[in-house]
Structure 1
Amino acid sequence: MKNIVVLTGAGISAESGLKTFRDSNGLWEGHDVMEVATPEGFQKNPELVLEFYNQRRRQLLTVVPNAAHKALADLETHFNVDIVTQNVDDLHERGGSSNVLHLHGELLKARSVNTENEIFDCRKDILLGETCANGYQLRPHIVWFGEAVPMLENAIKITEKADCLIIIGTSMQVYPAASLIDFVSTDTPIYFVDPKPAISGDERRNLTVISENAVIGVPTLVASLIDR
């Protein structure tokens, strides 16, 4: 086993104290998802959307990586590790992981509304009227609902090479991210770390379910993989 691919979701970040965007009632921090996470919502009320992500960015800068993030970094000392995350935070990077692909964008980056390829580092609030050098409004570098997922093809290529797949803290209900599990070969071992796993070992061959929070389950799994 050389190549380990890790798919992560909000559950791993929540244990650092970072709130997950969407609550069980479908609201994102009290806002309808259509208001704050769609191009239409931004067009209708850009100031509201900018402030929503400004608050998330401020919160991100107050938290630190947890034991699960650090354990994944330790895994790199023994294997080729690629992390494909649905999270928009930088906790994997701060935890020490080298190869992180963000499917849904990054909260600490901004981009021009004119082009998705004009991306800037951003650790402060983005204000209405704040523009790039070409005069276009800046927006969060986040993939909103209804927008293409530009990193998906890269994520598929990474997943296809996996000798082992680890899934952490995700419901496996959000597409297209959830479809990545279908790109590993049928004999690839899969480990699913989540206190309330959405799939079971009965549903998929070579699947091992670890029904624990990430800070407990991930270090234990990493230690067992290293010791083999």
Structure 2
Amino acid sequence: MDERELSFAASAIQNADSVVALTGAGVSTASGIPDFRSEDGLWTEYDPNDFHISRFQADPEGFWRERVDLVEDLFGNDVEPNAAHEALTELEESGHLDALITQNVDGLHQEAGSDDPVELHGNGQRVACTGCNRRFDADPVFERARGGDLPPTCEHCDDVLKPDVVLFGEQLPEHERFRAHSLSESADVFLAIGSSLTVEPAASLPETAADRGATLIIVNLDSTGLSGHAEYDFREDVTEAVPRLADAVIDSDPRT
């Protein structure tokens, strides 16, 4: 990361009225969570169609049996927030990050201390009742499923429980989608971190921000479709680049 560009990017964040960050799979994989779409990703081991909403509706027992296996592959190693999660929390707490949007469903931003992130694809640490819409902690429900309680049902209304994530064939939650779009439109600086910017509608958010005049900062190991439009394009490990950027913002801020 070029020190001069780092300093300019930090200054842009310091001087902005509204800073918004979007995080993608690259932030999760840095905590040891497998990705889905790479050459050796989880979709080479699992059939995505098995996690389609139509499969859940037609065969909830089979869906849950395979969902348990998938979640064990995803979170079986007691994953924890990494330095990128923690740096984003530090930016929030210092008043330099106004909103965080994430494509990830692991809940690690909350574990790191982030306040009310916009979860575009839901949160795998929760389950939702398809009948009464109550939300519950996922761990006890998955324990029931591992023990043969398939499909797990709601203790209040006895309808089937569903992982509180967006399955294939489902629309993104309207409220979260609206929040993300509105935040992107009003951002002065938009950070896109650990995202290939290929999955819609999240991929359009930084472009929306840039079209409205925001300074676009991208942190990702590989080039993205918007790298050519970014004022700052840091192709580095997010666990190294994001903490350095956060330190540059906070340490040189005359208010701190």
Name the TM-score, length of structure 1 as normaliser. Answer: 0.88
- Per the TM alignment, residue 49 of structure 1 is displaced from its structure 2 partner at its CA by 2.7
1:201-216 alignment, distance < 5 Å: 201-202=227-228, 204=229, 206-216=230-240
Match for 2:131 among 103, 114, 139? 114
Specify which of 53, 64, 76 is matched with residue 67 of structure 2. 53
- Residues 79 and 18 (structure 1 numbering): CA distance in 2 closer, same or farther, change over 3 Å? same
Alpha-carbon distance between aligned partners in 1 of 2:66 and 2:36, rounded to the nearest angstrom? 10
Of 33, 58, 68, 2:48 maps to 33
Percent of paired sites with the same residue: 33
1:142 alignment counterpart: 165
- 2:31–2:79 CA contact under 8 A, matched in 1: yes
Aligned-CA RMSD value:
2.2
- Tell me, yes or no, if structure 1 residue 131 matches structure 2 residue 146: no
- Partners of 2:131 and 2:157 within 8 A in 1: no
CA contact (8 A) 1:57 1:108 kept: no
Choose between structure 1 and 2: higher helix proportion: 2
Q: Which residue of 2 aligns with 1:43?
A: 57
Structure 2 counterpart of 1:199, from 205, 225, 228: 225
**Equivalent residue, structure 1, for 2:24:** 9
If you compute each CA radius of gyration, which structure gives the higher value, 1 or 2?
2
Distance 1:182 1:120, change over 3 A: same
Closer/same/farther in 2, CA of residues 173 and 30 from structure 1, 3 Å limit: same
* Among candidates 44, 52, 64, match of residue 80 of structure 2: 64
Distance 1:25 1:42, change over 3 A: farther
Mark the runs of 5 or more structure 1 residues left unpaired by the alignment. Answer: none
AA partner of residue 48 (structure 2): V
Of residues 181, 184, 207 in structure 2, which corresponds to 1:182?
Answer: 207
Q: Please, which runs of 5 or more residues in structure 2 have no aligned partner?
A: 1-15
Q: Which has the higher strand share?
A: 1
Distance (whole Å) between structure 1 residues aligned to residue 70 and residue 231 of structure 2: 34
Partner AA of 2:184 in structure 1: T
Query: Could you tell me whether the CA contact under 8 Å between 1:18 and 1:60 is conserved in 2?
Result: yes
- Alignment coverage as a number of residue pairs: 224
Q: Which residue of 2 aligns with 1:102?
A: 119
Do the aligned partners of 1:57 and 1:123 also contact (CA within 8 Å) in 2? no
Q: Which structure 1 residue ranges, 4+ long, deviate > 6 Å from structure 2? A: none
Among 224, 228, 245, the alignment partner of 1:221 is: 245
Task: Report Cα offsets for 1:131-174 as digits up to 9, x if no partner.
Answer: 12222111101111221111211211122221211111111111
Match of 2:86, as an amino acid? K
Compared with structure 1, are the counterparts of its residues 80 and 168 closer, same or farther at alpha carbon in structure 2 (3 Å cutoff)? closer
TM-score by length of 2: 0.79
> Is the CA contact (8 Å cut-off) linking 1:192 and 1:210 kept in structure 2?
yes
